[in-house]
Amino acid sequence: MKYGWLLPSAPHAGGMFLPLSTTSRDVSVTKVGNMRSFGRALARSFVLAGLVIFSAGLAEAKSACVADASSNYYMFSKVKLPKTAGDATTLQGMYLQADLPESLQRGFSGVAVRRRTGDLRISLFVHSTNGVYSDFTVTWVADDLLQGTAIRDLDGDFNKDDATDALTTTDCATIPYP
């Protein structure tokens, strides 16, 4: 049996009856197919909205570099700083000293935590991979540019009395590293 659409006025009153070229079974399949398409589109919209909301909480990954007055550099790779209080992220990179050859440069790993006050608490462990220098830790309270006064513990006694360095942002391209 064929179905059709009845336009606003009835056929006996001069209206038109437009037949469809489908059977009743085809009409029900088409309706179900349309609902499935709508459901898929709605699900995709929810997933996309969720990704946008989730990604709003993360900062863009970028390289960042800070230097002290003695030409020591902390070169961070792929930094994603936390945006909200209590969030933390891992840090990694290279600790570079301009007066040392490449074979004596050291890597570091650490963490950045966003505090309620809006600043960051940075804590790094600088690894000695060359057997010449010892490992050390460094901590500081930083702004979003990673600037602050770093306190280094060079002898492993966990006292903050070994060295302090004022760290300022520097362009990574200007660091004398091959």
Q: What is the pLDDT of residues 78-108, one digit of tens each?
A: 889 999 999 999 999 999 887 777 777 889 9
| Least confidently predicted of 21-30, 93-102, 130-139 | 21-30
Average pLDDT of the segment spanning 154-158: 79
Residue 79 CB partners (closer than 8 Å, separation 6+): 61, 62, 63, 64, 89, 91, 112, 146
124 close to 74: Cβ distance less than 8 angstroms: yes
Structural element, H or E, at residue 165: strand 163-169
- The token duo for 53 is 């909301």
Average pLDDT of the segment spanning 160-175: 87
Locate the domains of the chain by residue range.
Answer: 4-55, 62-174
pLDDT for the residue numbered 60:
63
166 close to 157: Cβ distance less than 8 angstroms: no
pLDDT for the residue numbered 55:
47
Question: What is the model's pTM?
Answer: 0.62
